[in-house]
Structures are given as structure tokens and as C-alpha cells.
């Protein structure tokens, strides 16, 4: 890391927090804060939904699994993507007719207030786990780059995310998702991936540098693939983070098509 790299990171953090402050102006109601006013078109909805897959847990976790198991490591991210595509195909039409903000509200309307309470507790526990893994991923990145202690790196990275989210709600989350979607698409997919592939010497160079097991789709074991299917394929269909983003679309067509497009892209 050079001083210039550190400067770029600081600028990046400053931009994220600035987005949070600017998003305050868009907040006129609860719907604006929680679901971005239900006004997102394809240009912002697709990146926001894609961000569910392009989060720290997937990028860091997928990289670790790839290093450990080779091509078989793709199953976790694949199941996340398939789960969201399933959500787009089977859930979005019905959800588009509901004026709700959460999974718990849907259950309360169908089964009564007690189901809302119990489901809210479960969702809180689930979201805490998601938040912890994502924040740790940010901390690991910064502790590696800057040689900070893990605690300090997690504190700084987590604080930035909490600040812009609390300030601007779903508007800020969406705008930062859009920005990070294009940064990752251009940086990782269009620049880093081809460059790395070229450095390895193409397919021939890649196959000579890894073991044959790393080219086997079942290298991690079908039992583990099955566990990912249960956890992520079905879990993503009922995840509050997915539903809340779905409620931001301005129409059922945008929500359904945008969800499917986003996951095919990533």
C-alpha cells in the first residue's frame, strides 16, 4: 500500500458518507426511508439487487472456497444467485400488490400479530449474523491492506456503513450499491479478471498450475453443496434484505425482471 492508495480509500469513505447526507433530502416519509419511496427503475434497482450477491461474505467467502476447492467453490455464490432468481420468478408478482415493508408484516397479515413477533425475532438473529459476517469481511480487508488491528479495522469499516445507512436509509443504501456495483463490475470483472487470466497464460496455464481436483465441480462434496442449497437457495427467497430491496421497485415488472437480470449479471 502506498500513500496514494490510502488517500483513495479515504476519498471512497468520504463519498459514502456524503451520499448518506445527500440522501436525507429525499426522505419525506417512512416509505422513503425504508424502501426508497418504491420509486426505483432498472438503472438503480438492478445494481441494488445485485449487491446482495456482491457483498463481502460472497466475495471473500467465494474467494476462500475457490482457493480451497477450486471451481467447486462456486456453489455457495451460485446458490445465492439461484435463490434470488427463484424469488424473482415465484414471489415478486404477489408481493407487488402488498403495501408492506417486511416479511414479518406479511406473516402478521396472514396469521396474526404473534407470528409477526416471532418472525421478527428470528429475522433479527439472522440479520445480526449477516451483519457480523459482512463487517468482519470489511475488517479483514482493511487490516490486511493497512496492517491495522482487526478490531480497529472492523470499527472503522462498520462505522462508515452504519453512518451512511442511518442518515439516508434505503436511499443511501441504494445509491452506494449502485456506485459499488459499477466499481466491482469494472474493477473485478472487466479489468482484474482478464488481467489475471492473461497472467496465468490462459486455460492451458491455469490447468498446469492447479490440481485436477480443483477442476471437479464436486470437489467440496455433494453433501456440502446440498447444505448450501438448503441454506442459500431457499433462505434467500425469504430474506428480509432481499424483500426490502424488492419493495423499492416502482412496478411489478421492474421488480420481477430486475431481480432476474441482476442475478444473471453476477
* pLDDT per residue as tens digits for the range 88-133: 888 888 777 778 888 888 888 888 888 888 888 888 887 787 777 7
Per-residue model confidence (pLDDT) at position 186:
84
- Domain-wise residue ranges, the chain: 3-265
pTM of the model: 0.80
Alpha helices in the chain (DSSP H): 3-23, 30-35, 42-50, 56-69, 75-90, 92-95, 103-111, 113-146, 150-184, 193-200, 202-209, 222-228, 234-237, 240-246, 252-265
Q: Which residues pair with 40 in a beta bridge?
A: 249
Per-residue model confidence (pLDDT) at position 266:
67
Q: How much of the chain, in percent, has pLDDT values that exceed 70?
A: 98
Per-residue model confidence (pLDDT) at position 169:
92
The residue behind cell 438503480 is: 44
Per-residue model confidence (pLDDT) at position 57:
63
Kindly calculate the radius of gyration of the chain based on its CA atoms and give it in whole angstroms.
20
Residues of the chain where predicted confidence (pLDDT) is lower than 70: 1, 55-57, 266
Cell of 116: 409477526
Angstrom CA distances, 263 to 81, 120, 185, 220, stand at: 5, 27, 13, 23
Per-residue model confidence (pLDDT) at position 56:
63
* pLDDT per residue as tens digits for the range 142-158: 888 778 888 898 888 88
Amino acid at each position: 500500500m502506498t500513500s496514494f492508495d490510502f488517500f483513495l480509500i479515504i476519498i471512497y469513505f468520504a463519498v459514502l458518507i456524503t451520499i448518506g447526507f445527500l440522501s436525507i433530502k429525499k426522505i419525506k416519509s417512512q416509505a422513503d426511508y425504508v424502501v426508497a419511496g418504491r420509486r426505483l427503475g432498472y438503472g438503480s434497482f438492478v445494481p441494488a439487487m445485485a449487491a446482495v450477491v456482491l457483498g463481502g461474505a460472497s466475495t471473500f467467502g467465494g474467494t476462500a472456497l475457490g482457493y480451497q476447492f477450486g471451481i467447486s467453490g462456486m456453489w455457495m455464490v451460485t446458490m445465492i444467485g439461484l435463490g434470488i432468481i427463484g424469488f424473482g420468478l415465484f414471489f415478486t408478482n404477489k408481493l407487488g400488490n402488498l403495501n408492506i415493508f417486511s416479511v414479518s408484516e406479511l406473516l402478521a397479515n396472514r396469521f396474526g400479530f404473534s407470528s409477526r413477533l416471532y418472525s421478527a425475532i428470528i429475522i433479527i438473529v439472522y440479520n445480526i449474523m449477516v451483519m457480523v459476517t459482512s463487517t468482519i469481511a470489511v475488517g479483514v480487508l482493511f487490516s490486511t491492506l493497512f496492517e491495522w488491528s482487526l478490531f480497529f479495522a472492523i470499527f472503522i469499516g462498520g462505522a462508515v456503513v452504519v453512518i451512511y445507512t442511518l442518515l439516508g436509509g434505503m436511499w443511501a443504501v441504494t445509491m452506494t450499491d449502485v456506485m459499488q456495483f459499477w466499481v466491482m463490475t469494472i474493477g473485478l470483472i472487466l479489468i482484474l479478471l482478464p488481467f489475471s487470466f492473461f497472467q496465468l497464460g490462459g486455460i492451458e496455464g491455469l490447468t498446469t498450475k492447479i490440481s485436477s481436483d480443483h477442476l471437479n465441480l464436486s470437489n467440496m462434496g455433494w453433501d456440502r453443496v446440498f447444505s448450501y442449497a438448503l441454506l442459500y437457495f431457499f433462505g434467500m427467497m425469504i430474506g428480509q434484505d432481499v424483500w426490502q430491496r424488492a419493495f423499492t421497485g416502482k412496478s411489478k415488472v421492474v421488480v420481477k425482471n430486475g431481480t432476474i437480470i441482476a442475478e444473471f449479471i453476477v
